[in-house]
Structure 1
Amino acid sequence: MANIKSQEKRIKTNEKSRLANKSLRSEVKTAIKKAMIAKSENAANKDELIKDAVSLIDKGYSKGIFKTNKAAREKSRLMSV
């Protein structure tokens, strides 16, 4: 365990951000799965689910959770026929 005050604070803030990132990553994965299922079943609300998933992917990219190519790849897979 750290014995420097600033390092103790960094440990706490790193843990908070790790949990927040994990939560958003999980939310994105769920949204992508729902959109892909709706797309394969040709559901009526597939466009809305795809739009929500793309929005979450962009949010994750802007927060630095996803790298550029991963965000682009996931959006491309959602948009493809």
Structure 2
Amino acid sequence: MANIKSAIKRVETNSKKRSNNNTKKTEMRSQIKHVEKLIASKDKENANAALQTAIKSIDKAVQKGIIHQNTGNRQKSRLAQKVNQLGA
């Protein structure tokens, strides 16, 4: 454990940030899994609605720096492709 006051503050700050980031990342992953579950059940309308919320949570994670922009774009693209294939 750190002895210096500023180092102790940094440890606390980093811990809080890590906790918040993990919460947001978990929520994002849950949204993605929800869309994939709806795709598996071939429910196009609900999958489209869930896709919009998943894209929103992915964009928020990218904006906050939790995931890299390319990762977010790849995830959004793959989900959109799967949802669009339901209609074909």
- Which piece of structure 1 moves more, 59-68 or 35-44? 35-44
Distance 2:78 2:40 in 1: 12
**Where do 1:4-43 residues align within 5 Å?**
4-43=4-43
Q: What are the ranges of 5 or more consecutive residues in structure 2 without an aligned counterpart?
A: none
3-state secondary structure, aligned to 1:69: helix
Task: Give the AA of the match of 1:71.
Answer: G
Q: Which runs of 4+ in 1 moved over 2 A?
A: none
State the Cα RMSD in Å: 0.9
Task: Give the AA of the match of 1:19.
Answer: S
Q: What TM-score results when the alignment is normalised by the length of structure 2?
A: 0.87
Q: Displacement of 1:42 after TM fit?
A: 2.2
Residue aligning to 2:67: 66
Q: Displacement of 1:37 after TM fit?
A: 1.2
Deviation track 1:20-76 (CA, whole Å, cap 9, x = no partner) reads 010111111110010011123222311110000000000000000010111011001
Q: What TM-score results when the alignment is normalised by the length of structure 1?
A: 0.94
Query: Identity rate of aligned residues, in percent?
Result: 37
3-state secondary structure, aligned to 1:45: helix
How many pairs were matched up?
81
With a CA cutoff of 8 Å and minimum separation of 6, indicate the structure with the bigger relative contact order.
2
